[in-house]
Amino acid sequence: MMLTGGALLALVARTALAQSAPPSQAQAAPKLEDRASGYCDFVRGVADAESALELAPELYASFGVVNAGESSGGGALGKPKPRLTAGLGYDFVGLYRGTTIRKRAEADCRRQRAVAMLEAAVHQGPALGEDAALEARARVLQESLPRAEELVTALRNDLREGRSTLEELNAVQVRLDNLRELATNTALARAQIAGRPQFAQGQRLESLLEEMRAADDEVESYSGGLRRAEAWELSLRGGYDEVFNVEQSVPLSGQILLTYNLGHLWQGSANARAREGRRQASLQEVTGVSQRISELMADLRARHRTEESRLREVSTLVADLEGQLREVEALQTREVRRFRDYLLLELTRLRAEQAYLRAHVDALTSLVGTGAP
């Protein structure tokens, strides 16, 4: 069976509309949470492994010889005697180090999640925020195309019965084909966007950028705290302590140990320089995420201003055509009916564009705020 050009285009448009729904979970691109979860599992696992050693007590045991007892010549050292010590020790500074290591891992995870979101935004580029607009356009076309096809079918029947001309049919057919092509292009654009990393709705690029920088600064702050904590040790040790061949009433021992490394006195300024240097490196990044996001935001703000203006124009046209349609619907002449058909098809196209622009402007407002730079 041979298909004419119009029938083939109609089939393609109907197929596109049927496939224009959002892709299933299996077909959709991986969620950003999934992309960052591997890294978060890594840093949390490393942090748990390191903090486990800091938070837990330690067992110790030693065996050797010490000078004990009374010496034969009346000296104080006595003869070497075997000595066995074993017990439990705990460094209370490890409590701080262990909890700080885990906090640093959480900050690193938050930074990576923000980076993943920003990278997805950069990957989508100017198409960012367009998925909701394409969905709105597809919804209007899906609701309106059957009615438009009915109009063309009725006009084709009128042509066979001599109640319309070929020029009238061709004029309406061209408008319908334009709507079908628009539906097909919309479906293709949605499929392309669905294959890219998805950017969460309601997120603002500037807030994500600030969150990334704040989390990065938090990572460095925790790292500096860990470096400072290395200068301190406050430990408690206690356990079994026996010197063989020496009389002991209670073979136990206990010890509190406090140590301080004088290098801590010079750490403060060095940590401050490191933190400020990291902050400046993040702000002045040339080829990384920060610069690309700044360029993307400038582009999206320009699009926001342009599409706001276009939305006002299209909304005015829609209101004008709707008014004309109300006026001609009450008339029953053949010429008026043909004009009404033209109006309906043109109104469908403008409503689809209006829905697209309104949803896109809302999405861009959510992403970058107002259109002002």
When comparing pLDDT for 301 and 200, which is higher? 301
Q: Is the pTM of this model over 0.85?
A: no
- Alpha-carbon span 172 to 178, nearest angstrom: 10
Q: Answer whether residue 342 shows pLDDT above 80.
A: no
Q: Which residue has the tokens 């409590």?
A: 95
d(CA 248, CA 242): 8
Rounded Cα distance, 226 and 267, in Å: 11
Give the torsion sign (CA, 184, 189, 194, 199): negative
Name the range with the highest mean pLDDT among 122-126, 178-182, 330-334: 178-182
Q: Where are the alpha helices (DSSP H) in 130-204?
A: 130-160, 166-194
Render pLDDT for 250-271 as a digit per residue (tens, 0 to 9): 888 899 999 999 999 999 999 9
pLDDT higher than 90, residue 62: yes
pLDDT band at residue 74 under the 50/70/90 scheme:
low
Average pLDDT over all residues of the chain: 81
Sorting pLDDT into bands at 50, 70 and 90, what band is 16?
Answer: very low
CB distance 187 to 16 below 8 Å: yes
Lowest mean pLDDT among 143-157, 213-227, 332-346: 332-346
- The residue that leads in pLDDT, 295 or 340, is 295
Position 280 confidence tier, pLDDT thresholds 50, 70, 90: confident
Is residue 58 scored above 90 in pLDDT?
yes
